Structure 1
Amino acid sequence: MKTNGSTYSILVLAIAFMLFGASTVQAQVLNKPVPAPNPNIGSDDPWDAACASVGYNEYYVKFTWMPPMVSSNNEFILELSDSDGYFGSPRELARVSDKNTILDFKFKFSLPTDTRGENFKFRVRSTSPAKTSPASDAFSMYFIDYKSPLLISENGSGSIPSGGEIQICGGGSVTLKPHNIPNAGTYRYNWYRSGTPLPEKTESITVSDPGMYYVELDYGSVCSGSANTLSNTITIGTGTSAGIALNGPSNVTVCPGDTHILEANISGGGYTYTWYKDGNVISGPTVNANTYTVNTSTSGFEGAYAVEIGGSGICKEKSAAVTISATGSYSVTLANQENIVLLPSQTKTLSVNTTATSPTYQWYKNGSAISGATNSSLNINSIGEYYVQVSQNGGPCTAAPIASAKTTVVSPDSFEFEIDFVGTYTACENTDATLSLTAIHAVSDSGAKTDVTADLQSSFTYQWKRNGNLVNGETSRTITLSNHEKNGFYSLDGTIDAFNASSNSMEVKLKVNEFLQITTNGTVLCEGGEAIVLTSSMDLSGKSFEWKKDGVVIDTSSESLTASETGAYELILKEYDCPLASNKVNVSAFDESLLVLDKPKDLIIIEGETKTITASGADSYEWYDTGNNLLSSQDSYSFQMEGEYLLVASFGTCTVSRVITVTYRDMFSIPNVITANGDGINDLWVLPNTYSRDPNVLVTIFNERGEQVFSQAGYENNWPQSTTSFNKQSMIFYYKVTRGGKSLKQGTITVIK
């Protein structure tokens, strides 16, 4: 007979109940997930490592669990650990809600594109009830997002040497680095020298030992080879120094604009030359380029220059540096470099600072020299573009005049303000906020804007507005708000001379500075327990509000809410611009395992001794005897007498009952010999307390012919009786001890007269 997965699961559950009973099936058991074959590629073998890519990213895991059945709204969630196998922040891979009657099924999932590691694990989590499976075994898992051969070159320059060979001198080194992979620094690498793995896992390595070097991306112990990223090979050789150096002195001083040529002491031979300034490449490598012209007309030409030589038959080496410095240079700095707004009837002063020796000055407006403007400062009363040219009239060098930066003087057509929040502000999260003027723009008749904040912010008079209305007393550049009742759209107006300026509008939405609390008579749901009712600390009459469970609105009209399902409950008051959220109350399902006893509930004691059982986990406790008499309300009780006792533990509105059975431990065994000679010693057949004086226990004795000679329920250790006679010196009897027809003990008794 064929059955589908659901029918099979239900059959398994039924069999479990028949074989073990309802009391045996206590709670769901979630087994650890294991890899499963992909049914879409015709393979019967489960995967042992995941090497995903854009072209293939489909995997399966098998998951099994045991009843009782989960809730109908349950979801099973497949989660992935981090690369070290930890579930501190698990990632969800798959979620199913239609497998709640299937005890054996598969999850289908894809690897996240940033998955890289050797020790990823899986687990499965159910939501109702909330349980988590054990973690799976660890697996090598990589998403291979780059799967082309790498190309390596010196310093990742992209220039692969002829024949793939680089010669270095003794004590020298070369840095190898891939140059054709995006985001190279985000990967780990496997470097090799002549087939031997190297310990470095970084993007680049610096080597000095001879050998053949190559690299591949490190996609783990399984996936690296399938990615096909193995690079070209660079052969490093060593040789004798060619003695490369720069001709001339090691320190050179030049005038700005003068020509200076650096020359290597080795030329010809088809060698390549790479020129450096302050350790950075500025030219090359270029064949036969044994000279380099320093452009002293460029600012910042000063520095330490060196050359590196390489080529067939010689080893690569770098010369000692030659330091080039400037003499006779000077700086020119305009004191008013910002653009200047010139209001009607205003006069502004421009000034210049310079380090020139015996300087002379010439000011320019709109590119033309201003007649007579030959001082270090200039008074202006008209708009235009201004700068100054400074000449040096002393020192070792004769240099061309240096012009300052240009500053633009404008006459505004209007002004605009910009306002913004000061510091961090998030709508409906802050309880206070500060707005401030951040910029003043002068706007020309053509619409061009010039930032004049520093020049004019102290010259304006200000007025704040809220929703277009004046805010009394707020006449500074800054306004601070700390009450949600002041929420609204704010703007800033200003006045200077005949100009009026307005700002952009900024909406302020402050969080209500009140506390909304919901309380409850309990947080644990249990069958037959008191209903869990959530109530608000505020009167909700006539107000707009929402009750939410797990972030979803479930009620908008009830002033109190009865929680009938597990979840996180909260109340949202919608009376304000920013909704006011209450605290969250987490309602969970009751779990009887919360009650813990420190000793077994079947307690065996020696008659006359006392044993104490202590309970924990509940809010309160009550201990009862078989007559329903309350013995104690403490968390522990000391037992001295045999019998059955009842413990009732309360968890809020939920209770758990435990029956405690106390029995005496037998200190001796059933005797099989008695001496009925009337001396008062061993004259009677005495049973342990387990079988004597119990009205439910029947003791029956038979003679050797199988005839019943004695029968008593609640045996009082009184056989043989005084009227019993024995006609032999030694006689054998048979006994049987039963309870409810079930045999407890049987054996023989030898009676010696």
Structure 2
Amino acid sequence: MKNSSSTYSILVLALAFMLLGAFDAQAQILYKPEPAANPNLGGNTAWTAVCASNGFNEYYVSFNWDPPMVDSNNEFVLELSDADGYFSSPIELARVSDKNTIFDFEFKFALPTDMRGDNFKMRVRSTSPAKTSPASEAFSMYYIDYNSPLLISQNGSGNIPSGGLIQLCGGGSVTLKPHNIPNAANYFYNWYRSGTLLAEKSESITVSEPGIYYVELDYGDCSGTANTLSNTIEISTGTSSGLAINGESNVEICPGETHVLESSISGQGLTYTWYKDGSIVSGPTVEASTFTVDAGASGFEGSYEVEVSGYAICTELSDPVTVSGAGSFDITLNNEENIVLLPSQTKTLSISTTASSATYQWYKNGTEITDAISNSLVINEVGDYFVEVTDNGGTCTPAPVSSAITSVVTPDSFEFVVDYVGTYASCESVDATLSLTAINAVNDNGATTNVTADLQNAFDYQWKLNGAEVLGETSKTITISEQEDNGEYTLFGAIDAFEASSNSLQVKLASDETLQITANGTVLCEGGEAIVLESTTDLANESFKWKKDGTVVDSSSESFTVSETGVYQLVITSNDCTLISNEITISKFDESLLVLDKSKDLIIVEGETQTLTASGADSYEWYDAGNNLISSSSYYDFTEEGDYLLIASFGTCTISKVITVTYRDMFAIPNVITTNGDGINDLWVLPNSYSRDPNVLVTIFNERGEQVFSQSGYENNWPQSTTSFNKQSMIFYYKITRGGKSLKQGTITVIK
């Protein structure tokens, strides 16, 4: 009965495999995806184009497929082509894993924000088994990331003309361009002239034909929903009338006189706009074909133009006419406007002028100076000085022009300003340069005048450190390069009976010494040797602190014995600056500090090599089963089975790991043989690891549990005869042991 049951089970399994094979031969059928209505919007109309935006991006497609069934771990993936309909790099739109028993369902997807085009296609892919549906029809798909009306102007300047009208007179062209869209070059455009779509797709268009022009972003079939239609610009054409301002292009007017500018075009109903230096000074005014320039008005000089517009003529702007004052000239001071005059000093004041035939008169405190009638004046008194210049060589009545006032003062005192030269950082820089940057004369009410240019070479200087003179430092600049010279620096100076002092500058130079600490170990373990931190610098005469994790733990011991884990540093304070050592991290002893790149139970192929590498320790020792040292490297190449020992040292702490190496079976144990005498699979052949080994016992039992074969050092010689098999298929059981320990067991089917 037991024999019949086993045979029946085998037949059932065989039949099941045959049925599965028949289903595998029949492939699933995946149909192309189709647009579907959005159930959240109501209605039953499927979409014809995808017009997504930040405000709406929810679309559905329907999909169906025919059995056989897909695998339980299958997923259906909805994919999108590129804008040309190709799937070389498809984009995943949606993925479902719960539809493996549903033959008709819908995908929900959102369009990626960088999609724009008219030939996108979709397909569905199954993952197990791997199948791909036919591609869908091509659809317009656009993500509308800009959906506000465009504004166009000439060259994208942002200046929309009044009434949206631009006139082209005497030929020529104008470029229209949107000015309110960021990254304008990233889009395509639909340009229209009087309702007709033009061929241009770029962000700008150059036109010369009359008509009404406007533009929208080209979103294909979605363009109408994007709301990007722009303002209109009307282009009109006409003939230039040669507008100009009558007379010379350069006009000079004497003081107090006027000059009338007249347009070369005049007529009833025309509108005139007059400009000076590009700004409107009159109009637009009907029939105002003249404009009067008054030389008595301040700022009358400049460049004048006129613009004329009106019915049936082109709006034109004339060439400019330059109007200047006759007899005008410039006066330039050749000295500072504020001058400090020391006792017994003299100063020379002078001016330069563009007057063609100049006469001069100098004044002090508003009073004329007798015989001071040249372009220069030598002074030795304080006061406010200026000169009047008259040009006697012009066509207009002479009118004197006054120069700027020069204020001459005697100081009550002087002050110096000193500063660092270049980049200086306290306790970081290894040198510092200080220099005089300004000399200020201070009057009796505290007002200051910069007199650096006049007096910087007249003072005698002396630098002081912490109030004491620095020997030999008598120039405007001093450089400090030694840390022992740290301190407060001040510059003093003297001229005549005056003495001056500067602000103070603090100099703190960093030491150029490198502070290094060492340790006899970095892993703290119970019972191990004490970890001691030491410095390469002699600390006998230093102010220092040992720190752990930033907190001071000792300030008296020149070497420090560690009792806790943490990050340790030494800090020395020298000449008001701190010198900080390197960091040493002390870790708690933990077996996880030793890292192996593979399992400590290695399986190798006989005749090959497997390398095991350790890391994290200070040193390593590898021992074989006989306790022989075989390597002191961080790795070892294993070629033989056995137990090995790794000892890793962390300072005075150690970790031991037993490494077990076993051979891998290269061949499986067969469970079917055919005893038909054809020389193929007639014998039950075991892998080398089980055959011909005197320590390995192979035992075979029949269906009733009776032992029919037993052999140590199996010679791959069962069955020795085929006559004992009286049925078409017989089941046998085997057991493989070594030293009484079971290694393998299973069944053998013998087919005659």
Counting only pairs closer than 5 Å after superposition, residues 455-604 of structure 1 correspond to structure 2 as: 455-519=454-518, 536-539=535-538, 543-545=543-545, 547=547, 549=549, 553=551, 555=553, 557=555, 560=560, 571-583=570-582, 596=597, 601-604=602-605
Q: Does 1:416 align with 2:403?
A: no
Displacement, 1:355?
Answer: 3.8
Q: Aligned residue for 1:91?
A: none
2:244 to 242, 246, 255: 246
Shift of 1:624: 4.2
CA apart distance, 1:544: 4.1
CA contact (8 A) 2:609 2:638 kept: yes
Mean Cα deviation higher: 692-701 or 427-436? 692-701
The CA deviation at 1:370 is: 0.7
SS at match of 1:485: helix
Change (3 A) 1:664 1:742: closer
8 A Cα contact 2:736 2:742, kept in partner: no
Letter in 1 for 2:432: A
Q: Which letter maps to 1:641?
A: E
For residues 270-327 of structure 1, the C-alpha deviation after alignment (integer angstroms, 9 at most, x for no partner) is 74636363xx546577445765666778999887654455678766544334456787
What is the aligned partner in structure 2 of residue 717 from structure 1? 714
Q: 1:425 to 1:725 in 2, by over 3 A?
A: closer
**Greater CA deviation, 328-337 or 557-566?**
557-566
CA contact (8 A) 1:735 1:748 kept: no
Q: How many residues align?
A: 580
Residues 647 and 660, structure 1, Cα contact 8 Å, conserved in 2: no
Residue 373 of structure 1: how far off its partner (Å): 0.6
Secondary structure in structure 1 of the residue aligned to 2:454? helix
Rounded Cα–Cα distance in structure 2 between residues aligned with 1:600 and 1:532: 34
Question: Measured at CA, do residues 667 and 446 of structure 1 come closer, stay the same or move farther in structure 2, by a change above 3 Å?
Answer: closer
CA contact (8 A) 1:306 1:321 kept: yes
Instruction: State the alpha-carbon separation in 2 of the partners of residues 577 and 319 from structure 1.
Output: 75
SS in 1 for 2:484: helix
User: Which AA in structure 2 matches 1:273?
Assistant: T
- The one-letter amino acid of 1:737's match is I
- 2 CA distance for matches of 1:396 and 1:599? 111
Determine the C-alpha separation between the residues in 2 that align with 1:545 and 1:266: 94
Change (3 A) 1:399 1:662: farther
TM alignment of 1:571-720, pairs within 5 A: 571-583=570-582, 596=597, 601-605=602-606, 609-611=607-609, 613=611, 615=613, 623-634=622-633, 637-643=636-642, 659=659, 661-663=661-663, 665-666=665-666, 687-692=686-691, 698-702=697-701, 706-708=705-707, 715-717=712-714
Alpha-carbon separation, structure 2, partners of 1:325 and 1:671 = 116
Structure 2 match to 1:385: 384
Q: Deviations over 1:83-134 (max 9, x none)?
A: xxxxxxxxxxxxxxxxxxxxxxxxxxxxxxxxxxx89xxxxxxxxxxxxxxx
Any idea what the Cα deviations from partners look like across 1:449-499, whole Å, max 9, x if unmatched?
222211112221122222333222222222222223322222222211111
Q: Which residue of the partner structure matches residue 437 of structure 2?
A: 438
Q: Which amino acid aligns with 2:244?
A: L
- Structure 1 unaligned segments of length 5 or more: list them: 1-47, 52-117, 120-139, 143-147, 676-681
Give the aligned partner of residue 171 of structure 1.
172
Q: Give the secondary structure class of the aligned counterpart of 2:250.
A: strand
* Aligned counterpart, 1:275: 275
Query: What does 1:726-741 correspond to in 2, within 5 Å?
Result: 735-738=734-737, 740-741=741-742
Structure 2 residues without counterparts, runs of 5 or longer = 1-51, 56-112, 115-142, 676-680
| Contact 2:358-2:391 within 8 A present in 1 as well | yes
Would the aligned equivalents of 1:548 and 1:572 in 2 still touch at CA under 8 Å?
Answer: no
Are residues 448 and 575 of structure 1, via their aligned partners in 2, closer, same or farther at CA, if it must alter by over 3 Å? same
Q: Which amino acid aligns with 1:602?
A: I
Counterpart position of 1:404: 403
The 8 Å contact of residues 612 and 636 in structure 1, kept in 2 or not, is answered as no
CA shift in 2, pair 1:743/1:185, >3 Å: closer
How many angstroms does 1:423 deviate by?
Answer: 2.3
Change (3 A) 1:481 1:261: farther
Alpha-carbon distance in 2 for matches of 1:528, 1:265: 111
The change in CA–CA distance for 1:352 and 1:674 in structure 2 (over 3 A counts) is closer
**Could you tell me how far apart the structure 2 residues matched to 1:456 and 1:565 are?**
65
In our comparison, the structure showing a higher alpha carbon Rg is 2
Q: Distance in 1 between matches of 2:664 and 2:179?
A: 82
What's the CA shift string for 1:206-259, capped at 9, x where partnerless? 99896577999xxxx9xxx9xx9x999574443425546322357425367575
* Residue identity opposite 1:384 in structure 2: G
Q: TM-score, normalised by structure 2?
A: 0.59
Residues 174 and 495 of structure 1: CA distance in aligned 2, closer, same or farther (over 3 Å): farther
Task: Check the 8 A contact 2:673/2:682 in 1, yes or no.
Answer: no
Deviation sequence 1:375-408 (CA, Å, 0-9, x none): 2322211110112222333356665333333211
Sort the Cα spacing of 1:174 and 1:444 in 2 relative to 1 into closer, same or farther, 3 A: farther
Query: More deviation in 317-326 or 584-593?
Result: 584-593
Aligned partners of 2:693 and 2:714 also within 8 Å: no
Deviation at 1:410, TM superposition (A): 0.9
Residues 462 and 157 of structure 1: is their aligned pair in 2 closer, same or farther, counting only changes over 3 Å?
same
CA distance in 2, matches of 1:448, 1:338: 15
Q: Quick one: distance in 1 between partners of 2:281 and 2:654?
A: 83
Aligned partners of 1:414 and 1:499 also within 8 Å = yes
The Cα offsets for residues 638-696 of structure 1, whole Å up to 9 and x where unpaired, read as: 55434455667789989796946341554796698899xxxxxx999874322246688
The one-letter amino acid of 2:661's match is T
Root mean square deviation, CA, Å: 6.0
Contact 1:685–1:718 (CA under 8 A) maintained in structure 2: no
| Residue identity matched to 1:717 | Y
Equivalent position SS for 2:605: strand
Q: Secondary structure at the match of 1:371?
A: coil
For residues 336-356 of structure 1, the C-alpha deviation after alignment (integer angstroms, 9 at most, x for no partner) is 224222222222222233343
Other-structure match for 2:331 = 332
TM-score, length basis structure 1? 0.59
Question: Kindly tell me: are residues 614 and 365 of structure 1, through their superposed partners in 2, closer, same or farther at Cα, counting changes over 3 Å?
Answer: same
Q: Distance in 1 between matches of 2:413 and 2:213?
A: 71
Give the corresponding residue for 1:124. Answer: none
Does structure 2 retain, via aligned residues, the 8 Å contact 1:167–1:310?
no
- Aligned partner of residue 421 in structure 1, secondary structure: strand
Partner residue in 1 for 2:140 = none
Q: What is the distance in 1 between the residues matched to 2:547 and 2:202?
A: 59
- Distance in 1 (CA, whole Å) between partners of 2:311 and 2:509 is 74
Structure 2 contact 351–375 (Cα < 8 Å) conserved = yes
Question: Could you tell me which residue of structure 1 aligns to residue 371 of structure 2?
Answer: 372
Partner secondary structure for residue 440 of structure 2? strand
Summarize the Cα distance change of 1:672–1:353 in structure 2 as closer, same or farther, 3 Å threshold: closer
